């Protein structure tokens, strides 16, 4: 059995889409409490991994344990323990923000008064009170992320999984999200999120897992992974971008920047 | 409908885009960067407006068509089918038009007038219904390129007439020349009139989409249009009902009346210009040409405005009350949550509303037309039963893909449900929501059908049986929902109900559900048809039992394969 100090542990996780191996033998480990970042270039398998961990996608091989419970064996126990904000942010578009929260609360069997209280506070802290009775379909990206996070937090989960929570979010909303998440982790809960924004990962996380081409290439406490460098530099070195793309493109662009007149 | 505009068809959820028959699918073109519409002349630091020939737009259009076909057998088959359909329509239409030579001249002109009008109206309406501006049409995609508005308009006109359906329209309308004109003079004038009418079709259609492109890009505008699609379907039934309803026993008289009404419309002018010759024709042609010029000018003006008008799709202040009726009558919990959400969706989601309208409309039309066709009154109670049961089946069929409308938001339910019981409750909630709307609706439908059939008391067995059929249909629908799920596109149009590549599944699911409902209703319907009316008392228990059993099975299946369910209902559209 996995040690109980781990919030998430996967072993030998594999997912193939036809010929393509999206996730190949991933052993993701996240300690309990605080922020854990899952970073990697586009197509590294972050979303696929998070989907399998949160029970939205069935893995081809491997096991996943959250708080020591097998995700695909005891779904009732796991699903009441986790909160999820998948990528793409498809919400129930024709409900208002407030209705979305009460729908979630009712679906999860939280008492009505408790749902009202919690959703009122969540809407307030997310700055969504004014927009609470507008349909989600008319929300901006930042508002969608905030209402999505509010819905994921409503049942006070032990572990929260967020896929690109800060993508396309304005700095003000991002700040709100970070503040809410900080309060959430302060009491010992765990946030696992994937991101491209290295500064944010560096600022928030105490644990980092780096994925590339469907594998974990580095994993551990932030300081261990970056080994004295900036996280961005360490990341580029880990995914091997230095020798490949991006640096030696000067020769082919001689016309760029010259004005014809 | 021959007015089917090809421009709107390159969106994946529309029928595969047609191109002129015989045109090679991938014409050689400038580098791939032109795919986004970069005009060839824009290279080399061209300082001022680029000089782009309309041919660039034509090739862009063909390139888009070809690109859309790449890598998908289904779309390629659909494309072949479209081309064949267009050829058949063109040939059939041309021969019909040319065949008018053999009917009295007055009648022939009337027929051409009405047909031309249908084409013109079709060209304006169909692109709006199937909205999904493709890259050659949406002016905002082209707004960053250095093109003068006039040149842009010429190019977009050229792209607009590139396609299977424009070619088919041209072939069909030129049939009028063969059918009406006598002598070389009339043929020449007729050809000009036909070309002008064709140009008017295209320009008017462009004007409509361009002028409305702001509206069409907003969420509310699309909602309204999605609903209006249903009225077009209904409007198409009007002549049928009128003919059936004995408005006029003689189609010729009806045709004459319609044609005289349309005499001075552009289509009427064109038809008479082809037939009349002489001064009448010349005058008609001059008026038509002026009209094309004016509409063209309006189009350019609309285009100019559309290019600098921002996308308003993120605005919209929809504040609505959040009170749910279900909350008052159902115990607080998942079941009430699902019922409340489903009822809100039936009201707020255009796809939901369209489904309900369609079911009621089909049943209503059925009620009217079977009564009209049955003058002797021999059908008796069957005339009340049939529309009610059909209405129930149509309503239940909407549930044949119960998770389709949730689509990509279904994950929100799946991250909560941890057992097959949860799924069963979810499906029960959906059924309950449908029942809440359907039960009174079926009462209404049965009463109307019974009144039309001649005895209002027939409504009682009719409605009881219809409720039973509804139960059967819901049960069958629960099974197809979990076994054959598919994605319902967010941008609904009147012509397709599934994401690209899932048309077959959608067809199987809806026809499977319809046939299954029909077969499983037979134990009730057959004895009733044989005269044992008391069997209708068993209809409701039978329906309830069947749907309960189906929910048990569907709940187990759904829990076992919900990742597949998620994937199937979240396909890209």
Q: In chain A, whose CA is at the least distance from the CA of B490?
A: A93
For residue B275, give the 3-state DSSP assignment: helix
Buried-exposed string B157-181: b where 16+ CB fall within 10 A, e elsewhere = bbbbbbbbbbbbbbbbbbbbbbbbb
Is the pLDDT at B66 greater than 90, yes or no?
A: no
- Please give the residue that has the higher pLDDT: either B334 or B570: B334
Report CB contact under 8 Å: A92, B411.
no
> A22, A70, A77, A94: which to substitute to probe chain B, counting the most B Cβ within 10 Å?
A94
> Do B495 and B8 touch, CB atoms closer than 8 A?
no
pLDDT by residue (tens digit) across A137-196?
Answer: 888 888 999 999 999 999 999 999 999 888 878 888 888 889 999 999 998 899 999 988
A23 Cα to chain B: minimum distance (Å): 17
CA B186 – CA B281 distance, rounded (Å): 8
Contacts of A159 (CB under 8 A, 6+ apart): A7, A8, A30, A66, A67, A81, A82, A83, A189, A190, A191, A192
* pLDDT tens digit at each of 261 positions of chain A: 444 578 999 999 999 988 889 999 999 999 998 899 999 888 889 999 999 999 999 999 999 999 999 999 999 999 999 999 988 778 898 889 999 999 999 999 999 999 999 999 999 988 899 889 888 888 888 899 999 999 999 999 999 999 988 887 888 888 888 999 999 999 889 999 998 888 889 989 999 999 999 999 999 999 999 888 888 888 888 888 654 455 555 567 777 876 665
- Across chain B, what does the average pLDDT equal? 78
State mean pLDDT over B327-349: 85
Contact B85, B167 (CB under 8 A): no
Cβ burial of B136 (10 Å; 0-12, 13-18, 19+) is buried
pLDDT tens for residues B511-537?
Answer: 889 899 999 999 999 998 888 888 889
| A57, A90, A96 member nearest B408 (Cβ) | A90
Q: CB distance B413–A96 less than 8 Å?
A: no
The upper half-sphere exposure of residue A63, i.e. CA atoms within 13 Å in the direction of its Cβ, equals 9
| Numbered residues of chain B with Cβ closer than 8 Å to any chain A Cβ | 45, 47, 219, 314-322, 332-334, 336-338, 340-341, 344-345, 348-349, 406-409, 411-419, 563, 566-567, 570
- Residue whose token pair is 């899952």: A38
Nearest CB to B344 within list A94, A140, A261 = A94
Tell which wins on pLDDT, B61 or A30: A30
Are the Cβ atoms of B411 and A90 closer than 8 angstroms?
Answer: yes
Name which residue leads in pLDDT, B195 or B185.
B195
- Percentage of residues of chain B with pLDDT beyond 70: 73
Q: Tell me the pTM.
A: 0.73
Question: Any chain B CB within 8 A of the CB of A14?
Answer: no
Does the distance separating the beta carbons of A103 and B340 come in below 8 Å?
A: yes
Instruction: Say which of B406, B413, B418 has its CB closest to residue A75.
Output: B418
Res A240: pLDDT: 80
Q: Are strands A29-31 and A6-17 parallel, antiparallel or unpaired?
A: antiparallel
Does residue B474 register a pLDDT over 90? yes
Mean pLDDT of B8-18: 36
pLDDT band at B132 (very low <50, low <70, confident <90, very high): very low
Q: What is the pLDDT of residues B33-53, one digit of tens each?
A: 333 333 444 444 444 566 778
Q: Which of A79, A90, A112 sits opposite B409 (nearest CB)?
A: A90
**Which region among B92-106, B121-135, B152-166, B426-440 has the lowest average model confidence (pLDDT)?**
B121-135
Chain B positions in Cβ-Cβ contact with residue A79 (cut-off 8 Å): 415-418
pLDDT digit string, tens, across residues B358-373? 778 777 777 777 766 5
Answer yes or no: is pLDDT of B316 > 70: no
- Mean pLDDT across B386-410: 88
B319, B348, B419: residue with CB nearest A134 = B319
Does position B226 have pLDDT exceeding 80, yes or no?
A: no
Asked whether residue B320 carries a pLDDT value surpassing 60, the answer given is no
User: Tell me, what's the pLDDT at A244?
Assistant: 47
Dump pLDDT digits (tens) for B556-572. Answer: 999 999 999 998 888 77
> CB–CB of B416 and A56 under 8 A?
no
Q: What is the mean pLDDT of residues B203-224?
A: 74
Q: In A, residues 51-70, which contact B (CB 8 Å cutoff)?
A: 54-58
């Amino acid at each position: 059995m996995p040690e109980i100090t781990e919030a998430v542990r996967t072993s030998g996780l594999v997912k193939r889409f036809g010929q393509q191996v999206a996730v190949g033998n991933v052993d993701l480990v996240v300690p309990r409490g605080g922020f854990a970042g899952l970073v990697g270039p586009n197509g590294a398998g972050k979303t696929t991994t998070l989907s399998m961990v949160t029970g939205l996608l069935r893995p081809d091989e491997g096991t996943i344990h959250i708080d020591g419970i097998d995700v695909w064996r005891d779904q009732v126990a796991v699903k009441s323990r986790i909160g999820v904000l998948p990528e793409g942010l498809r919400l129930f578009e024709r409900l208002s923000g407030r209705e979305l929260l009460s729908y979630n609360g009712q679906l999860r069997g939280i008492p009505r008064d408790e749902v009202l209280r919690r959703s009122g506070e969540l809407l307030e802290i997310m700055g969504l009170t004014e927009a609470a009775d507008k349909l989600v379909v008319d929300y901006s990206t930042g508002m969608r992320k905030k209402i999505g996070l509010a819905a994921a937090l409503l049942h006070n989960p032990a572990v929260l999984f967020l896929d690109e929570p800060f993508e396309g979010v304005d700095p003000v909303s991002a700040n709100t999200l970070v503040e809410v998440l900080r309060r959430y982790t302060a009491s010992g809960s765990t946030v696992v999120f994937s991101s491209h924004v290295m500064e944010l990962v560096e600022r928030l996380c105490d644990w980092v897992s780096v994925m590339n081409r469907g594998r974990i290439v580095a994993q551990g406490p932030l300081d261990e992974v970056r080994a004295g460098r900036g996280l961005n530099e360490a990341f580029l070195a880990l995914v091997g971008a230095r020798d490949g793309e991006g640096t030696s493109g000067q020769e082919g662009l001689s016309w760029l920047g010259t004005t014809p007149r | 409908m021959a007015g089917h505009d090809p421009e709107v068809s390159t969106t994946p959820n529309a029928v595969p885009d047609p191109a002129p028959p015989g045109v090679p699918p991938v014409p050689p073109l400038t580098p791939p960067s032109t795919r986004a519409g970069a005009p060839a002349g824009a290279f080399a630091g061209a300082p001022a407006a680029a000089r782009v020939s309309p041919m660039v737009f034509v090739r862009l259009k063909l390139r888009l068509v070809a690109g859309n076909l790449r890598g998908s057998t289904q779309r390629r088959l659909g494309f072949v089918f479209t081309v064949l359909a267009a050829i058949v329509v063109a040939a059939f239409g041309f021969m019909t038009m040319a065949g008018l030579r053999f009917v009295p001249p007055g009648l022939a002109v009337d027929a051409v007038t009405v047909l031309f009008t249908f084409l013109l109206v079709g060209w304006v309406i169909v692109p709006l219904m199937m909205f999904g501006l493709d890259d050659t049409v949406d002016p905002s995609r082209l707004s960053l390129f250095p093109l003068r508005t006039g040149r842009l308009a010429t190019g977009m006109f050229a792209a607009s007439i590139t396609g299977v359906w424009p070619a088919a329209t041209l072939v069909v309308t030129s049939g009028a020349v063969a059918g009406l004109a006598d002598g070389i003079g009339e043929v020449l004038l007729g050809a000009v009139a036909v070309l002008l009418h064709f140009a008017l079709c295209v320009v008017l259609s462009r004007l409509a989409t361009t002028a409305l492109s702001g509206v069409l890009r907003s969420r509310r505008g699309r909602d309204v249009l999605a609903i209006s699609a249903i009225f077009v379907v209904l409007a198409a039934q009007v002549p049928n009902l009128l003919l059936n309803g004995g408005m006029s026993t003689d189609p010729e008289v009806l045709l004459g009346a319609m044609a005289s009404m349309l005499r001075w419309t552009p289509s009427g002018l064109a038809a008479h210009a082809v037939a009349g010759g002489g001064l009448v024709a010349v005058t008609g042609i001059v008026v038509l040409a002026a009209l094309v010029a004016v509409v063209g000018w309006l189009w350019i003006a609309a285009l100019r405005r559309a290019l600098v008008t921002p996308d308003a799709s993120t605005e919209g202040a929809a504040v609505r009350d959040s009170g749910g009726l279900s909350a008052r009558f159902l115990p607080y919990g998942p079941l009430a949550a699902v019922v409340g959400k489903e009822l809100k969706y039936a009201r707020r989601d255009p796809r939901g509303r369209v489904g309900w309208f369609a079911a009621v409309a089909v049943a209503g039309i059925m009620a009217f037309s079977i009564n009209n066709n049955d003058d002797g009154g021999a059908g008796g109670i069957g005339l009340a039963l049939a529309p009610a049961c059909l209405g129930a089946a149509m309503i239940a069929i909407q549930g044949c893909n119960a998770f389709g409308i949730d689509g990509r938001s279904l994950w929100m339910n799946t991250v909560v449900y941890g057992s097959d019981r949860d799924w069963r409750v979810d499906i029960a909630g959906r059924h309950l929501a449908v029942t809440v709307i359907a039960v009174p609706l079926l009462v209404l439908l049965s009463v109307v059908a019974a009144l039309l059939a001649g005895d209002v008391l027939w409504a009682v067995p009719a409605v009881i049986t219809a409720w039973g059929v509804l139960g059967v249909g819901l049960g069958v629908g629960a099974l197809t929902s979990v076994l054959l799920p598919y994605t319902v596109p967010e941008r609904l149009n009147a012509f397709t109900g599934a994401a690209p590549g899932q048309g077959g599944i959608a067809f199987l699911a809806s026809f499977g559900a319809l046939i299954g409902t029909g077969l499983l209703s037979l134990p009730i319907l057959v004895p009733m048809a044989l005269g044992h009316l008391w069997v209708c008392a068993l209809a409701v228990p039978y329906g309830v039992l069947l749907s309960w059993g189906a929910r048990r099975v569907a709940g187990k299946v759904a829990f076992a394969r919900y990742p597949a369910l998620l994937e199937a209902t979240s396909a890209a559209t």
